[in-house]
Structure 1
Amino acid sequence: MKYSGVLTKMQTENGSPIQYYLVFENDFLNMNQLLDRAVSISFRKYQCLNCGLDKKIFRMGFCYDCFYLVPQAADWVIRPELSKAHLDVEDRDLEYEKKVQIQPHVVYLANSSSVKVGVTRKSQIPTRWIDQGAHEAIEIVEVPNRYLAGITELALKDHVSDKTNWRAMLKNDIKDEDLADWRSKLEPFIPEEAREYYIANNTETNLEFPVLQYPEKPKSLNLDKTPDFTGVLKGIKGQYLIFEDNTVFNVRSNEGYVVEISVN
């Protein structure tokens, strides 16, 4: 079986375990069904997710020119405290920015390699946690816009990490944490503007990933250096495909790459 198309992040469906799907323009592939099978990935060309041209991907699936033009790659996406749409202030595209920024956002704690704080739109729960490879997560505050979530995350980053160690996450070198207890400890550091939105009584969410074998020493597949790869798929966690030889492939980091996938 052969499938081809431009990579975008895998779509997910929460379950026991989580279901993963690669969605191409003309193909739809349930990745869970490929576990324990030989999978080949071959790089064919680039296709910028904005302009559609065969130009080298710079970041986030966009070529260099589009990355500095499209609102989906503006600074506020990575640094939500820079959001200004609630003030009617445009960055790159005010209509888009209002649509994304002025909606319920959640500040959360997630445990993927250790406890970290993060921000996501409420509509992206639990997708965001799945994409990060978190096996447990809990909400701290739910606010009406991205700016309030951003300043809350910024304040809490002084007391808990905002990074994921991807190697530890993939090796499953993790331990369970009492996230409700962590939330209580962090409550005093929530900014005054967001304090009324504190969530005190919910329980943590636990997530189960489809992994048969974790890599001992993960090595990342780079399609620019290795355009053709074949390996036995042993697991999927976060946005990573995990292969038997310890090779791991971050689908999201390769958005905008046109590939052919063969299944034996």
Structure 2
Amino acid sequence: MLQTETGALRKMRADLASDGTVNYRMVLGDQEVELNSLIGKRLTLNFSGYIDCQHCGRKIKKSYSQGYCYPCMQKLAQCDMCIMKPETCHFEQGTCREPEWGESNCMIPHYVYLANTSGLKVGITRHTQIPTRWIDQGATQALPIFKVSTRLQSGLVEIALAEFIADKTNWRAMLKGSADALDLKAIAEELKPKIAEKLASVSLKYGADAVIELDESVVDLHFPVKEYLTKISSFNFDKTPEVSGVLLGIKGQYLIFETGVINLRKFTSYHVNLQVS
């Protein structure tokens, strides 16, 4: 039986079941394809050569910031450097590219969390992106430790913690298996005194309620992976328009085939045909 779907790729959608299992759906234009049930089957992805900007819709030869044309990448707040480095937020200076977007997405509650991806790391996310952010990073454990009022404040807390632990995921290590379980609660208690002075500075500048310490439970995530690879090679539609193989699993935003992996989020707005056999 052959199943065929075609459309513009978007970031995979996922949800967390009550038992911690991550359920994935591939987004192709207006269609969604359930992926967990396809593990063990042969998938073929063919890139048509057509890319359109996910914001303005214009046809483009090259994608910027995961699915945008160059003009949109230059003007949209969601493509600004402060998205990657929130401590550089310039909303307060009145120089945000899109103040209304900033109000809706940055001047809202954020969480600072610990996660176990390729190992221990610190991260931040909007309150609306829990647990999506953890899923996208391939975290097998996550623990929110602080709640703050804005994205800028979350960045300040994150860089304070980054003096002691990583703030990035080693994606190759993450795709080779699950990191050993960590006692995130105990680690959080060890870290908090180390950044107490910097937290006090944030509260002094932005108000006593700017940083709220949390007492949450650790969230465990289980990814649908039948088999991990010992050596990671990455597919790229720009170099290899056809990617085919038996699907071994899904983790983060990666499809894991027996022949290599592909980060679907990287190829947002690429028009792709999916065949399942």
Which range, TM-score by smaller chain?
over 0.9
Q: Matches of 1:263 and 1:141 in 2, distance apart?
A: 43
- In structure 1, runs of 5+ residues without a counterpart are none
Q: Does 1:5 align with 2:10?
A: no
* Equivalent residue in structure 2 for 1:240, among 254, 259, 270: 254
How high is the TM-score relative to the length of structure 1? 0.94
RMSD over equivalenced CA pairs, Å: 1.5
Please state how far the C-alpha of 1:25 moved relative to its aligned partner.
Answer: 2.9
Partner of 1:108: 113
Please state how far the C-alpha of 1:64 moved relative to its aligned partner.
Answer: 2.3
* Equivalent residue in structure 1 for 2:45, among 16, 25, 41: 41
Cα deviations across residues 115-169 of structure 1 (Å, max 9, x unaligned)?
A: 1111100111111000000000101100111111111001111111101000110
Partner of 1:28: 32
* Equivalent residue in structure 2 for 1:71, among 56, 60, 77: 77
Matched residue SS, 1:22: strand
* Equivalent residue in structure 1 for 2:159, among 154, 160, 185: 154
Please state how far the C-alpha of 1:54 moved relative to its aligned partner.
Answer: 2.2
Matched residue SS, 2:157: helix
Q: Does 1:262 align with 2:252?
A: no
Please state how far the C-alpha of 1:23 moved relative to its aligned partner.
Answer: 2.2
Aligned length: 262
Please state how far the C-alpha of 1:88 moved relative to its aligned partner.
Answer: 6.7
- Is the alpha carbon distance of 1:118 and 1:132 closer, same or farther for their aligned partners in structure 2, counting shifts above 3 Å? same
- The answer as to whether partners of 1:233 and 1:242 remain within 8 angstroms in 2 is yes
Please state how far the C-alpha of 1:30 moved relative to its aligned partner.
Answer: 0.6
Q: Does 1:187 align with 2:192?
A: yes
Matched residue SS, 1:160: coil
Q: Matches of 1:96 and 1:66 in 2, distance apart?
A: 14
Q: Does 1:205 align with 2:210?
A: no
Please state how far the C-alpha of 1:173 moved relative to its aligned partner.
Answer: 5.3
Q: Matches of 1:119 and 1:202 in 2, distance apart?
A: 15
Residue type matched to 2:219 in 1?
T
- The answer as to whether partners of 2:4 and 2:273 remain within 8 angstroms in 1 is yes
Q: Matches of 1:11 and 1:136 in 2, distance apart?
A: 19
How high is the TM-score relative to the length of structure 2? 0.90
Please state how far the C-alpha of 1:183 moved relative to its aligned partner.
Answer: 0.9
Q: Matches of 2:159 and 2:46 in 1, distance apart?
A: 40
Residue type matched to 2:137 in 1?
Q
Q: Matches of 2:96 and 2:30 in 1, distance apart?
A: 35
Please state how far the C-alpha of 1:24 moved relative to its aligned partner.
Answer: 2.7
- The answer as to whether partners of 2:28 and 2:272 remain within 8 angstroms in 1 is no
Matched residue SS, 1:65: helix
Residue type matched to 2:110 in 1?
H
- In structure 2, runs of 5+ residues without a counterpart are none
Q: Matches of 1:173 and 1:7 in 2, distance apart?
A: 27
Q: Matches of 2:29 and 2:263 in 1, distance apart?
A: 20
* Equivalent residue in structure 2 for 1:57, among 49, 55, 63: 63
Q: Does 1:231 align with 2:250?
A: no
Please state how far the C-alpha of 1:200 moved relative to its aligned partner.
Answer: 4.6
- The answer as to whether partners of 1:112 and 1:133 remain within 8 angstroms in 2 is yes
- The answer as to whether partners of 2:125 and 2:133 remain within 8 angstroms in 1 is yes
* Equivalent residue in structure 2 for 1:141, among 119, 135, 146: 146
Q: Matches of 1:225 and 1:110 in 2, distance apart?
A: 33
